[in-house]
A and B are shown apart, each in its own frame.
Chain A
């Protein structure tokens, strides 16, 4: 038996699978694509099939929401099998140009968006932002995320965080242009080879983040948060999500929401925050503090939240399907609840949900907003 392929079976514990189907049963994208992750786990047992499996287009339909892994009764991570297959393509060089470019940009410029490293902090122009230098002591070291830093539509998240931080007077610092992609999406795009790009970025980032005398690293995006928590074993500082921090600020009365927002708000749980890391209460607590707002819940919320299809490299690879996008289903559900505001806590959710809102033509009666954006509007 080929030892390299044997290690694929071992690496993903494929022999532990009992083919119960809970992975495919829970997979959110099965309603719109032909992805059947259980069959991939089964077929991958045949060493000769790996290359053929890797070529199937549905390998790229997975959003890395991790529902299959969270629920597997035998402790397998079916999602990782798909990422392992993506790796076969990435390693052999036959991969979509968009994916190739994203990975190359991550390697060269420290972001997957083909933007220059030198412009990473441009969003800060005109804002009063604390930047810290390595070695400096700081209570909350803020980690921005590439999408938030570069996408003009999403930059509002970071801008409003600055507003919140300055208002509250809490000790914080941003990294500036040295900040480098957390590599979560690099991983999901298949750069998981041994000592490959992902490993390299984790190592460099660990060194960078550890060079600060920081008590906590505050990730804005759940994707960075989850990566730091689960894939960075050697970070010195505690890792939290910004909703943890903002909840503290509200509880300690360092931040007070003075303006009213008389709206029905529904919160959409990001997979990387909720399902994968069990952070459910903090965003809800924050929203519950908004004067005049009424908080409602999706039927499918918390552990049963429906994925928006924003993760797992989906920013670069479109799913070929005529069926309704999950984000559109979600917006439809929000409309049925009579919600006027769909609150999100993740840059990818923000993009997919806002697109879905427009695709459905509900701009008049509804709005998608990131929690920080909402907060920014409620403080002076």
Chain B
């Protein structure tokens, strides 16, 4: 087949996208004189069925063995035409795209010049296509298991979907319980379902599912390998409590010498816990954990005569000898569902969050209105005897969102609605409260959101359009300094409680996950998806997917939808059991490689390593490409000092003639 090249050139009008600026007939005529060109045609839409049919017929009837399509960017239709070639029985890699749209007709204004350039582009594609070689894609097996990092609602949902489809899931959660931020919420907008009521059953399901191996209080330490074949190492931190023995009766926590002395993370540090603790009543697994940073015995080696938890536990579950355990396993795919942190309101000192106990965040108010919260569901501000029920209450929206002064330009998407929800709940708990919401815009875009916003206003929550600038104290009152922009009235609004609708931010420990998986971040610092529209759950690393707020702020419905999307993408690989490895990848000529390792450093995918070979009794080190990891970016080939690394379809002897035709090389 590889004897004499017989080239077909197909020039596309792309409607008028190309033909408006490029004289397609002239390009066709020009191409017909190029060496080895057997057939040239132009057509209104080469990518259409009739367009492709033209090519297939020519390949069969004229015996074409090389094809140039002069149309759009290869990113657009290279795959389309490769399939066309394959359907006609030709190796799909005997195709070269000449991009006369993005790189020509769209960017030029002079028809004559543009036509001249289109001719050059076509001639260089023809020069290259002659030299192309047949390539074959290979396949690797996919380990039928998934690692999910993070067990908030995103990780939980993805785990359940994949496990229900019959595949193994390793669900790794950093904290002692699954549930994430959703477990801290009281009710959920816009329907006001009780958050725990809809979440707890799913939490229980992940723990009980035969296909899910749940690892809480654990950390992924290392991920190596590639799509289909990731090798994972997880550290299961010592809880100092035997999970098999603990009955979660709670006597240990009651007896703990530090009972009621340690701020509870679950209650946003408003309530107190013991050193041995269950983060919250519905925690899954329902097993106690000893906080190694607080426990007297673990920090000082001594807790009275003997640790009270040990004495109290009838099941004998407390075990200070327990060690961290390392689990190692293989998975085919990975889902990152590590969620978010709320904006740290202290970064806006003008709101006095660090100074005033009656300036609180939305998440803190969630805990205050929750029956499982530190006040049993009463909105009580302040401690002990000084605690009071606020009457004049102001919400401030967009705290840490849409705000360049703190470096967050994006909208956090949930604060408008959670503010409406919390304003409603305040009204339920304190019927005579006067609630106002200071806002810049109200974004009620989701299903049922606008209706809910209407309802809350009609209940008497006042919406005042103005973004407060400052909070200070006057007597017992907080003064919110703000302008009512609709009446152009500067106000000093005196209130008892200010609730800051803090936005969502990437987690502070996000680096850990980036380092594990070489993930990229978008400008907002959330994880970057492969394509904002068409690949929203994929990442640049094959086999690694994103779900939930790790990818960007979103509410629970969107989080669940995305988790299901990520699960589905993972299942595509798991259920087919095989994954294709690209063909246009790099390879090393070991005979000339000097083993300098430059390509190893350059490769952004970690796909090249130095290996030792025995060449006639001499042990030499040479570069070797891992086909499954190589993405065909070509950086190594461009960087190689001796020309030993080459990329298939882009080898020096293929692209240098292509460039030479352009007249830039003598």
Binding site for B on A (CB under 8 A): 18-27, 30-31, 36, 38-39, 67, 70-75, 299-300, 302-304
Question: Which of A20, A26, A302 has the most CB atoms of chain B within a 10 A radius of its CB?
Answer: A20
Q: Which listed residue, B467, B473, B490, touches A20 by the CB 8 Å rule? A: B467
Task: For residue A61, give the distance in angstroms from its CB to the closest CB of chain B.
Answer: 13
A24-B483, A24-B490, A73-B405 are contacts. A299–B473 as well, Cβ < 8 Å? yes
A38-B485, A304-B350 are contacts. A22–B404 as well, Cβ < 8 Å? no
New A-B pairs, 20, CB < 8 Å, besides A24-B485, A25-B491: A18-B441, A20-B440, A20-B466, A21-B467, A22-B469, A23-B469, A24-B490, A25-B470, A36-B488, A36-B490, A70-B405, A71-B405, A73-B403, A73-B405, A73-B440, A74-B404, A75-B404, A75-B405, A302-B349, A303-B349
Contact A73 B467 (CB under 8 A): yes
The dominant DSSP class at the A interface is: helix
Q: Which residues of B contact A18 (CB under 8 A)?
A: 440-441
Q: Which listed residue, A23, A24, A31, A304, touches B492 by the CB 8 Å rule? A: A31
A26-B470, A75-B405, A304-B472 are contacts. A21–B350 as well, Cβ < 8 Å? no
Contact B349 A304 (CB under 8 A): yes
Is B92 part of the binding interface, using a Cβ–Cβ cutoff of 8 Å?
A: no
User: Chain B: which residue is nearest A26 at the CB level?
Assistant: B469
Is B465 part of the binding interface, using a Cβ–Cβ cutoff of 8 Å?
A: yes
Q: Which residues of B contact A20 (CB under 8 A)?
A: 440, 466-467, 485
Task: For residue A349, give the distance in angstroms from its CB to the closest CB of chain B.
Answer: 19
Question: Which of A38, A70, A71, A74 has the most CB atoms of chain B within a 10 A radius of its CB?
Answer: A71
- Whole-angstrom distance between the alpha carbons of A31 and B482 in the complex? 11
Is B352 part of the binding interface, using a Cβ–Cβ cutoff of 8 Å?
A: yes
Is B196 part of the binding interface, using a Cβ–Cβ cutoff of 8 Å?
A: no
Task: For residue A261, give the distance in angstroms from its CB to the closest CB of chain B.
Answer: 27
Contact B398 A73 (CB under 8 A): yes
Task: For residue B408, give the distance in angstroms from its CB to the closest CB of chain A.
Answer: 9
Task: For residue B615, give the distance in angstroms from its CB to the closest CB of chain A.
Answer: 60
* Chain B 394-430 interface mask (CB, 8 Å, partner A; 1/0): 0000100011110000000000000000000000000
Q: Which residues of B contact A303 (CB under 8 A)?
A: 349-350
Contact A25 B405 (CB under 8 A): no
Q: Which residues of B contact A75 (CB under 8 A)?
A: 404-405
Is B481 part of the binding interface, using a Cβ–Cβ cutoff of 8 Å?
A: yes
Q: Which residues of B contact A30 (CB under 8 A)?
A: 483, 490
Contact B490 A71 (CB under 8 A): no
Q: Which residues of A contact B483 (CB under 8 A)?
A: 21, 24-25, 30, 36, 38
Q: Which residues of B contact A19 (CB under 8 A)?
A: 485
Contact B466 A25 (CB under 8 A): yes
- Whole-angstrom distance between the alpha carbons of A300 and B351 in the complex? 11
Task: For residue B406, give the distance in angstroms from its CB to the closest CB of chain A.
Answer: 9
A20-B466, A300-B472 are contacts. A25–B481 as well, Cβ < 8 Å? yes
Is B155 part of the binding interface, using a Cβ–Cβ cutoff of 8 Å?
A: no
Is B279 part of the binding interface, using a Cβ–Cβ cutoff of 8 Å?
A: no
Q: Give 10 closest A-B pairs by Cβ, nearest first.
A: A26-B469, A30-B490, A20-B467, A25-B469, A21-B483, A21-B485, A24-B483, A20-B440, A21-B466, A73-B403
29 A-B residue pairs with Cβ-Cβ distance under 8 Å, sorted by A, are: A20-B440, A21-B465, A21-B483, A21-B485, A22-B466, A22-B469, A24-B485, A24-B488, A24-B490, A25-B466, A25-B469, A25-B481, A26-B469, A26-B470, A26-B481, A30-B490, A31-B492, A36-B483, A36-B490, A39-B488, A73-B403, A73-B405, A75-B405, A302-B349, A303-B349, A303-B350, A304-B350, A304-B470, A304-B472
Contact B404 A73 (CB under 8 A): yes
Binding site for A on B (CB under 8 A): 349-350, 352, 398, 402-405, 440-441, 465-473, 481-485, 488, 490-492
User: Chain B: which residue is nearest A299 at the CB level?
Assistant: B473
- Whole-angstrom distance between the alpha carbons of A73 and B407 in the complex? 9
Q: Which residues of B contact A67 (CB under 8 A)?
A: 469-470
Task: For residue B481, give the distance in angstroms from its CB to the closest CB of chain A.
Answer: 6
Q: Which residues of B contact A73 (CB under 8 A)?
A: 398, 402-405, 440, 467
- Whole-angstrom distance between the alpha carbons of A238 and B482 in the complex? 38
- Whole-angstrom distance between the alpha carbons of A24 and B492 in the complex? 12
Task: For residue A234, give the distance in angstroms from its CB to the closest CB of chain B.
Answer: 27
- Whole-angstrom distance between the alpha carbons of A303 and B349 in the complex? 6
- Whole-angstrom distance between the alpha carbons of A300 and B465 in the complex? 25
User: Chain A: which residue is nearest B352 at the CB level?
Assistant: A304
Question: Which of A70, A72, A73, A302 has the most CB atoms of chain B within a 10 A radius of its CB?
Answer: A73
User: Chain A: which residue is nearest B485 at the CB level?
Assistant: A21
Q: Which residues of A contact B471 (CB under 8 A)?
A: 304
- Whole-angstrom distance between the alpha carbons of A23 and B469 in the complex? 7
Contact A299 B481 (CB under 8 A): no
Q: Which residues of B contact A302 (CB under 8 A)?
A: 349
User: Chain A: which residue is nearest B349 at the CB level?
Assistant: A303
- Whole-angstrom distance between the alpha carbons of A38 and B484 in the complex? 11
- Whole-angstrom distance between the alpha carbons of A18 and B465 in the complex? 12
Contact A25 B467 (CB under 8 A): yes
Q: Which residues of A contact B482 (CB under 8 A)?
A: 21, 25
Question: Which of B404, B467, B484 has the most CB atoms of chain A within a 10 A radius of its CB?
Answer: B467
Task: For residue A58, give the distance in angstroms from its CB to the closest CB of chain B.
Answer: 12
Task: For residue B494, give the distance in angstroms from its CB to the closest CB of chain A.
Answer: 14
Q: Which residues of B contact A38 (CB under 8 A)?
A: 483, 485, 488
Contact B472 A71 (CB under 8 A): no
- Whole-angstrom distance between the alpha carbons of A23 and B468 in the complex? 9
Task: For residue B348, give the distance in angstroms from its CB to the closest CB of chain A.
Answer: 9
Q: Which residues of A contact B465 (CB under 8 A)?
A: 21
A23-B469, A303-B349, A304-B349 are contacts. A72–B485 as well, Cβ < 8 Å? no
User: Chain B: which residue is nearest A68 at the CB level?
Assistant: B469
Task: For residue A269, give the distance in angstroms from its CB to the closest CB of chain B.
Answer: 12
User: Chain A: which residue is nearest B398 at the CB level?
Assistant: A73
- Whole-angstrom distance between the alpha carbons of A24 and B352 in the complex? 19
Contact B490 A299 (CB under 8 A): no
- Whole-angstrom distance between the alpha carbons of A303 and B469 in the complex? 11
Q: Which residues of A contact B490 (CB under 8 A)?
A: 24-25, 27, 30-31, 36
Task: For residue A106, give the distance in angstroms from its CB to the closest CB of chain B.
Answer: 32
- Whole-angstrom distance between the alpha carbons of A26 and B481 in the complex? 6
